[in-house]
Amino acid sequence: MFDLETLKNETTHNNRYEKRLTKLVSSGQEIQRIRTVVDSAIINLKNNQQSFVIYGEPQSGKTEMMIALTAKLLDEGYQIIIELLNDSVQLLGQNLERFQRSGLSPSPKKFNEILSPEIKIEDHQLVIFCKKNSSDLQKLINKLGNKHKCVVIDDEADYATPNSKINKSEKSRINELTGNLIGKSGIYIGVTATPARLDLNKTHENKNEHWIDFPPHSNYTGQDVFFPVDTSNLPYKLTFLSDSGDDPKHLREGLFSFMVNVGYLNSEINDEDTNYSFLIHTSGKKADHSVDYKQIVKIFETLKDGKTTSHKTYLNRIWDIAKERYPGYENSITKYVIANCDRNNIVVMNSDKEVNAADNRTATDPTSPFTIIIGGNIVSRGVTFNSLLSMFFTRDVKHKLQQDTYIQRARMFGSRNNYLKYFELIIPKSLYLDWQKCFIFHRLSLESRKQNKKSPVWLDGEKITAVSSASIDHATVVVDRGEMSFELFDFHNNDITDIFQNTKLTINKIKALSTLLGENHLPTYLISYIESFLPLGEKSVAVHLPKSIKGYEDKKGEVDKATITRTRGFIGNRELELDKFPDAIHHINILYNEQSRARIFYKYEGNIRFLKTAKK
C-alpha cells in the first residue's frame, strides 16, 4: 500500500556531510583539516558567533572545504545558504560546477534560477550562488525578502565586501547590499587567503578572536616553495628579468622556454600527451592584453610558417634552450614543437572577455598542449589554473605593493608537486623580492594572531601596504608601538647565557634561542624576515641581554607583570641600547618577571607600521 508519510519519514538528508567526507577519502584527499574547520565553525554558531572568517593559503583547497561546510550546515537544519563570489562569470561557473558535481542535496542554483514567481521560498532548503554584483544582489534580496534567515558564505571575502567608505560614515554599495542580505538575524562566514582587510575594516562586525585557520594539505606548494628566504636551491626554475621586463624578446623567450618544457614532458616523461598552460600577467590594462595577444599569435604563426624570415631563427632558439636544459633531448623536443605548435589555444581573460565563459574554461582546464592565458585582475583571484607550467609576471608597480592583492596573484600555488621541477617563474628580480616580502609580512601577521588568539598585527611599510587605506577603519584601528611579542616561557637564565657566550654571529644567536625556546616563542618566520633584510650585515641586528621588569608596577588596563604586557609597549631607548648598537634596525629583547616567566619582544627601527584593531 502506498504510504507517503512513511516514505517521507524514512527519507533522510541529515548525513550529507559524512557522505561528502567519505567520497573525499575514496578519492585520496585529506579530510582531517576539513573536519577540524567545519567543527570549529559549528561551535562558533552554537556559541552565537554570527560573523567570523575562515582563512587559508591561496589555492589550498578552500572550495572543497566550503562544499563540506555547506553540507554540514544543511544537516544542521539551516534553510538558505548563499555562496557569494567575485563579480566574475568565470569564477561563478567554475565554483558552481564544483558544488553541483559534489552531489549536494539540494542541488546548488544560480540566483536567477530562483527568481521565477513559481519558485516559492518556503520551508525547503536552498543553496544559492550569486556574484557580488549590485544588480544581482538586489534581485536576490527582493526575492528572499527580510523574513528568511540566511547563512552567507562569502568566497574571496576581502574583495568588494569590505566598506571602502567607512571613514566617511557611509557604506559602499556591495557592503550595504551584503549587509542587507545578512540582515539582523543572518550569519556571515568570510572565506579568504588574505583576511587583513576584513580585520582592519571590521567588515560585518567579524571578530578576529573567532577566526578559523584552514591549514593546507600535505602536497601543497606555496610560500615556502616559491618564496623561501634562501633561493639558492629552489625546486623549480626561477628566471630573473631586468627591471625593464617589458621588452618583447623577454615574452618570446618565456614562451619558447615553456614550449621546451612541454616538449620534454610530453616526449620523454608522460605516458600520454598532457595539456599545460602558460600564464602571462603583464598589466591590468585591456589594451596591453591585446598587445600581448598579438605578439603570441605572431610567434605561433612564425613557428608554423616555414616561409617567414624568422621561422628558422625561432626554432633554432628553441633547440638551443632544449640543449642547454635537457642535453641529449634537443632534437626530440624540437621535433615535438614542430609537430605540435599548431595545437595551441590563446585565451584572453579580462572583463571584456567575461561573456565567453567557454574560452575561459579551456584556460583553467587546458585543452591543448600549448595553452596561453593572458589577463589582469580576473586571473588574480579565486580562479584555479590546472596544469599551470609557467608564469610570466612583469606587472609594473609604480607605487607600493598592496599585500593582499599580490598574495592573491600567486596563481602558481597549489598542487604542483607532480611537475614542480619543470615549473618556471619569469619575473624581474626587484618585483620578486618585493613579492617575497609581502608573503613574509603576511605570515608574520597571521602568526601573531595565533599567539593566544590575539588581534593580528598587520605590517605595513617598506614599499608594501597591508590593504587599501580607504578600507582601514580609523576609528578602531591603532598604529601599534612597532613591537611584536610572542608566547610566555619559563625563564632559565643559564641556558640563555650559554647561548650568548658561546655563539658568535648575532643571527645564529637568534636561531639558537628559537631552537631552545620553540617556534611559538621565537618563530622562524621572524628570523626569515630578519635574514632577508640586513643592509649592514651583522650591524643591522641586535640581541639584547635579558632584562627584568621588576621596576614596573601593575596597573589595570596598562601593565600586567604576570603576563609581561604593557599597553604602550616595553621597548624604549633603554632597551634598544642605541649607544651600543647604533646601526641596528632589528632588536630582540628578552624580558622576564619575578615569577621567572619571560617573553621575547621584537622591535623594528624603520619605516614599518604595525596595525591592529582595538578591542571595543
DSSP secondary structure string for all residues of 9-56: HT---TTHHHHHHHHHHHTT---HHHHHHHHHHHHHHHTT--EEEEEE
Rounded Cα gap, residues 30 and 365, in angstroms: 23
- pLDDT digits 0-9 by tens, 92-101: 888 899 999 9
Rounded Cα gap, residues 559 and 208, in angstroms: 23
Asked if residue 355 has pLDDT above 50, the reply is: no
pLDDT band at 479 (very low <50, low <70, confident <90, very high): low
Q: How many CA atoms lie within 13 A of 49 on its CB side?
A: 18
Which range, of 78-82, 131-135, 529-533, averages the lowest pLDDT? 529-533
Q: Which residue has the higher pLDDT, 426 or 7?
A: 426
Q: Which residue has the higher pLDDT, 146 or 429?
A: 429
What pLDDT was estimated at residue 382? 67
Asked if residue 310 has pLDDT above 60, the reply is: yes
Q: Which three cell numbers stand for residue 212?
A: 578559523
What pLDDT was estimated at residue 615? 60
* Among 243-257, 460-474, 485-499, the range of highest mean pLDDT: 485-499
- pLDDT digits 0-9 by tens, 462-472: 688 889 889 99
Asked if residue 262 has pLDDT above 90, the reply is: yes
pLDDT band at 405 (very low <50, low <70, confident <90, very high): confident
Q: At 459, which helix (H) or strand (E)? A: strand 458-461
Asked if residue 259 has pLDDT above 90, the reply is: yes
What pLDDT was estimated at residue 450? 73
Q: At 131, which helix (H) or strand (E)? A: strand 126-131
Task: Give the strand pairing for 608-613 and 477-479.
Answer: antiparallel
Do residues 84 and 188 lie in contact, with contact meaning Cβ atoms separated by under 8 Å?
no
Q: Which three cell numbers stand for residue 123?
A: 520551508
User: Rg of the chain over CA atoms, in angstroms?
Assistant: 27
Rounded Cα gap, residues 268 and 33, in angstroms: 37
**pLDDT, mean of residues 273-281:** 96
**pLDDT, mean of residues 537-545:** 93
- pLDDT digits 0-9 by tens, 62-92: 999 999 999 999 999 999 999 999 887 777 8
Rounded Cα gap, residues 427 and 250, in angstroms: 10
**pLDDT, mean of residues 229-242:** 89
What pLDDT was estimated at residue 481? 58
pLDDT band at 60 (very low <50, low <70, confident <90, very high): very high
pTM of the model: 0.86
- Structural domains of the chain sorted by starting position, each given as residue range(s) with its CATH number in brackets: 13-214 (3.40.50.300), 223-437 (3.40.50.300), 476-613 (no CATH)
Do residues 57 and 88 lie in contact, with contact meaning Cβ atoms separated by under 8 Å?
no
Which range, of 7-16, 186-195, 214-223, averages the lowest pLDDT? 7-16
Do residues 162 and 471 lie in contact, with contact meaning Cβ atoms separated by under 8 Å?
yes
* Among 121-130, 282-291, 376-385, the range of highest mean pLDDT: 121-130
**pLDDT, mean of residues 351-374:** 78
Do residues 440 and 224 lie in contact, with contact meaning Cβ atoms separated by under 8 Å?
no
The crossing angle, in degrees rounded to 10, of helices 248-264 and 330-340 is: 110
Which range, of 77-81, 254-258, 356-360, 582-586, averages the lowest pLDDT? 356-360
For residue 174, give every residue at least 6 positions away whose Cβ sits within 8 Å of its Cβ, in sequence order, or none. Answer: 132, 134, 137, 160, 161
The rounded mean pLDDT for the chain is 90
Do residues 159 and 86 lie in contact, with contact meaning Cβ atoms separated by under 8 Å?
yes
What pLDDT was estimated at residue 596? 95
Query: Vertex 132, ends 127 and 133: CA angle to 5°?
Result: 115
Rounded Cα gap, residues 235 and 421, in angstroms: 5
Q: Which three cell numbers stand for residue 449?
A: 594572531
Cβ count near 338 (within 10 Å)? 15
Q: Which amino acid is at 139?
A: K
Rounded Cα gap, residues 143 and 158, in angstroms: 26
**pLDDT, mean of residues 169-176:** 96
**pLDDT, mean of residues 233-257:** 89
Asked if residue 320 has pLDDT above 60, the reply is: yes
Rounded Cα gap, residues 71 and 127, in angstroms: 10
Q: How many percent of the chain have pLDDT more than 70?
A: 94
What pLDDT was estimated at residue 353? 47
What pLDDT was estimated at residue 465? 87
